[in-house]
Every structure is written in C-alpha cells, then in structure tokens.
Amino acid sequence: MPFPVLFQQAPAPHFPNGLLETDAKAVAPRWGLLAVLALLCFLPRAWIAWHWDLVWTDSVTYLHAAEAIERGDLHAAFEETGLNIYPVILCGLRQLGADWTVVGTWWSVLMATATVLPLFGWVRRQFDDQVATVACLAYAFHGKLIAVSVLIIRDPTFWFLFNVALYLLWRAATEIRWRLFFAAGLSIALAVHTRSEGWLLTVPLLFWSAFRLPAVPGRRRRLVCAASVCVAMIPLGMAVVNVTWLRDAPRWGLVRAAHVEIVRNWLGWESTRGEATAVVPPGTAAPAGGSPATMTLDIDPMGFSHAPLPKELCKFGETLVKSYTYLLGLLALVGVWRWWRVYLRRDHQTLLFMVLALLAMIWIRNTQARGDIRYFFPMVLVSFPWIGLGLLKVSEWGARVVSWWREPKPATRAAMTGVLLAAVVVFGVSKSNTNLASARFMRQHAELGRWIHSGCGANRTIVGNIIETRLVQHYSRGNVVGYVDPRSCERSDVPAVVRAVHPDIVLLWSDPPSRVLWMRCRATILADRELGYAAKQLPASCGDVAVLVRVR
C-alpha cells in the first residue's frame, strides 16, 4: 500500500489477536516505507546533534569506565554501572580514532534512528501498517526522545535493544520458532546489561508464551522448551562472558548491587542514610576520628531530601505526563479510551503488566534518590501504538466535522491526518532543542569547569558541597577530593574536609532553601586567615556558586 494511501482510510474498529491464531499470518516486508520512516527519524536527531556540543554527566562515567577497560582495570570499569555493555561499546568507538564525543554522539543518533525499524515490526504485527506508520512518526518527532537521542549515554542503545526484543518475542510466541526465541533471549540479555529496565522484558516473554499455549495444542511442548531456552539465555550469556573475557574480574554481577540496596532500604532492611567517602591526599592531616587515607561524611550521597507523600505523588505524575509530552499523552488516552476492549485483551494486557511493574520500580527508586524522566521512556515506547490510534481517531473526528458529519472522502481523511501529523512535528521539534530539565545544570557545571581550568590550571584539588561534580572535574581536568558536610556549617565551623584536605578550590552551590547556610559557610572559610582562601568573581553562565581559591 503506497505511503499516502495509508492515511486515506479510517482506523480499523477491531484488530485480531495473534495469540489466538492457529498459525501466524505472513506479512510482506515494507522496505521503502521503512526507509522513509528511518530518514524522518534521523533528520531531527542529526540536526540537534550538529548543534549539541556538551558532554552529559553520565557520559563522563561511561568514559571513565571505557578507559578502565582499555587499561585492563575491570573492577573500576564496572564498579559504578555494574556489568554493562555500553562502556564496552564506547571503548570500541574510541578505537576509531575520532574524538570520543563525536563518535559517541553519532552512535546514539544511529541507535535512536534504528529503533524505528523493530518498533514498526512489532506494532504492524499486533495492529496493521497504518497504525505502525503513525506510531513510528510519533516516535520520530517525540521531543524528549529527540533530545536524549544525541546524548552519549546508554538510553538510545537500550531503546533499540528493547524494541528488538519485543519484535522477536512477539514473532517467537506467534510463530513458535526456536531461532526467534534464541535471538530474543540474546536481545533480552543485552538489554538487561544496558539498563536494568531490560528485566521487564521477561514479562512479555512469559505471558505471551503462556497465553499462546491454548491455541497450539499440538506444539505446546515445543513452545515451552523454546521459551525456556529464551529465559536461560540471560544467565547463560552472563556466565559465558564471566568465564572468558571477565575471568579476572573480582566478582560476577547479575543484578546491580546499588539496585539491590535500594530495594533493601525501601523494605526497611537497611538504613537509608548513605556515606560519601572523601579521599585525603598523602601528607595531609586526617580529621579527628578519620583514617589517614579516607574520611566518611554521614550525608545522603545523592543530595536527596524526602518530601511529603502528596507532593511526591504530584511530582511523580507530573514527570510521567512530561515523559509523553502533553499532546502525545492526550492522544494516547484517546487511543486507549476508543479501543479499550483491545487494550485489555491478553495480547496487549501483557504490556500493561510490564508498565505497572515499571511504575513500581520507578516509585521505589524515587523513594531513595532523585528521579529522572528517562525512567518512564520504556512506558512511552510501548504506548506509541495507542498514540497512533488516538491520532487516527482524532483525525477521523476532524474529517467528519469538515464533511458536516457525513462520511468523509479519503482525501479529506488524508488531509486531516496530515494536519495532525504536522502539529506533532512542530510540537516535537519545538521541544527537542535539548531543553531538558538537567541541561541548564550541565551547561553551568561545564562552564565552571572550563573557568577553573583557564583561571587556575589543571590538576587542582577541588572540594564541593554537592556530590554531582563529575562535569566540573572533567572540564577542569582537576580532582574532586571531598564533599562539605552541611552540619559543620550549621555550627559555624570551617568544614572538616576543608581543614583536613586544604584543597586548591572550594565550591559552594547555593539554592534558595539553604542560601543562608552556605553564605555562612563561605564567610567562615574566608575569615580563617590560616587557610588562605579568597573569593573569585564568576561569569553568570557558571550559575549560583561561590568559588574560593587558595592563594597561599
């Protein structure tokens, strides 16, 4: 069916349940349509990537992990991220000879673009070509996804693996083919070791396979055995990697220790208070009660403060809505409302179970640390069919209004769908200028790091009052050696870490609730003549931060 003709038809009132079919229906490849969708997906991401020159905070973490892999330090490589394939990918990209920020950015763009291919594949098999096309166009111009698609982080790679796994799982369950289950298991294993949300893919694996059993009485044993092979691929793949490439690694890791700790804290099995370790350079005096090498500060390592439950619920809901964007979120609701019987059917109910599990995971994590809009993106990815259905339904309503409530002509339907798609494009592009909530934070820290490097030189020791200083350290080419304990400032004392480490630079960020506290801390440090610190004037682009430089 030609591309324009897809928009001339009304959306189907009902869609068959592939899990109840005796044999899966064959579908012809649509290479021309896929090429058009991939190009439309690539263009806005390439435009943003061309104008985006800022390293993201997490990018620095993956860079350090890749560097550790290159020098054979496997403990440092996976200490923070756990066993993860993204630093390995970044390590390989660095061997191409180009600047790592360039190859890392364009890898993310290509992965985000390639995601449209498996997305089209599984949506068209669950619905039809019309819904799949509109769903992919909505993905291509989703403003938040465009913004994240250019960052040197693991998310675009995870989106691709996530959708490849869904595509393979659906085909494996409906066609009951060994090689599809094997490939799906490999995709899940890779997704699990990219982002922990990959574990959610076990939900469609188990439920689609179970719901398929009644329709294939003669192939049940084959289906169960093939699904078991798929499940086994996750631990088997990890075991193979650990006994070969990672045979010298200090430990195996199927689940990240940090996530286990979050669940334990949420269940009340451990204290929710964290410790941050500040390294003390050799030759400096240790504070009272601290060791010569390190000292611990009893503060929340994420800088997170708990809010009342109603406020947390409101913030949770607001972030969820923003992850869809208001326009696409509304279209998703229209699609679910109009096709609610299809939505609650077993084949689609499975993804609803996965979404509920994701929301529970996000809520538990948010009780322990700051949330992030990216955690909701797997939910957005499985919602694109319903966004597409919602857009088609709204365009059908619009076409009927224009036709004075008569049956609209195919050209009228196509024109109305085109208008709505144009609105999605304009709205998405306007929200895709990397204007994420954290972008301002990143730019300020990058500017501060550059200012320190140009004004004070490299290899300076730095102490700050927030944990997240990776960008400052990266751009300043310095070394963050400690964190200020806010309780010492409440007592109007010089922070213990400053007196013990005597760093070259002290950074004190100020936010409205604690402005008086940090101003008092700044004054206390400057008043101590023996420390020898002086305040420096910063450009406004560096943000609201006081910089104290040791002058003697």
Identify the DSSP state of 435: -
521 closest CA partner among 540, 551, 497: 497
pTM for the model? 0.88
The mean predicted confidence, pLDDT, of the chain is: 84
301, part of any domain: no
Q: Are residues 219 and 337 in the same domain?
A: yes
Q: How confident is the model at residue 189 (pLDDT cuts 50, 70, 90)?
A: very high
pLDDT at position 514: 74
Lowest mean pLDDT among 194-203, 275-284, 500-509: 275-284
Q: Are residues 407 and 540 in the same domain?
A: no
Q: Are residues 377 and 449 in the same domain?
A: no
Identify the DSSP state of 81: T
Give residues with Cβ within 8 angstroms of 73, minimum separation 6: none
272, part of any domain: no
**Contact (CB, 8 A) for 347 and 19:** yes
Concatenating the DSSP letter of every residue in 403-428 gives: TTTSPPPHHHHHHHHHHHHHHHHHHH
Q: Are residues 426 and 494 in the same domain?
A: no
Domain span at residue 537 reads 439-550
Lowest mean pLDDT among 53-62, 289-298, 310-319, 373-382: 289-298
**Contact (CB, 8 A) for 385 and 335:** yes
pLDDT at position 127: 95
18, part of any domain: no
Q: Which residue has the higher pLDDT, 78 or 418?
A: 418
Q: Are residues 419 and 452 in the same domain?
A: no
Q: Are residues 411 and 539 in the same domain?
A: no
35, part of any domain: yes
Residues shown for the chain: 552
Q: Return the structure tokens found at 155.
A: 């998310």
Give residues with Cβ within 8 angstroms of 444, minimum separation 6: 541, 542, 543, 545
Give residues with Cβ within 8 angstroms of 397, minimum separation 6: none
Task: Report how far residue 427's alpha carbon sits from residue 486's, in angstroms, rounded to the nearest whole number.
Answer: 43
Give residues with Cβ within 8 angstroms of 320, minimum separation 6: 359, 376, 379
Final residue belonging to a domain, choices 398, 430, 462? 430
Q: Are residues 407 and 516 in the same domain?
A: no
Task: Report how far residue 329's alpha carbon sits from residue 398's, in angstroms, rounded to the nearest whole number.
Answer: 19
Is the pLDDT score of 294 beyond 70? no
By percentage, how much of the chain surpasses pLDDT 90?
47
Final residue belonging to a domain, choices 430, 448, 477? 430
189, part of any domain: yes
Neighbours of 246 (CB within 10 A): 18
Q: Are residues 224 and 369 in the same domain?
A: yes
Q: Are residues 377 and 472 in the same domain?
A: no
Q: Are residues 401 and 463 in the same domain?
A: no
Final residue belonging to a domain, choices 374, 408, 430? 430
220: burial class by Cβ within 10 Å (0-12, 13-18, 19+)? middle
Domain count of the fold of the chain: 2
Q: Are residues 35 and 122 in the same domain?
A: yes
Q: Are residues 331 and 359 in the same domain?
A: yes
397, part of any domain: yes
Identify the DSSP state of 225: H
Lowest mean pLDDT among 291-305, 334-348, 521-535: 291-305
464, part of any domain: yes
1, part of any domain: no
User: Which of 260-282 are b and which e, b meaning 16 or more Cβ less than 10 Å from the residue's Cβ?
Assistant: eebeebeeeeeeeebebebebee
pLDDT at position 250: 61
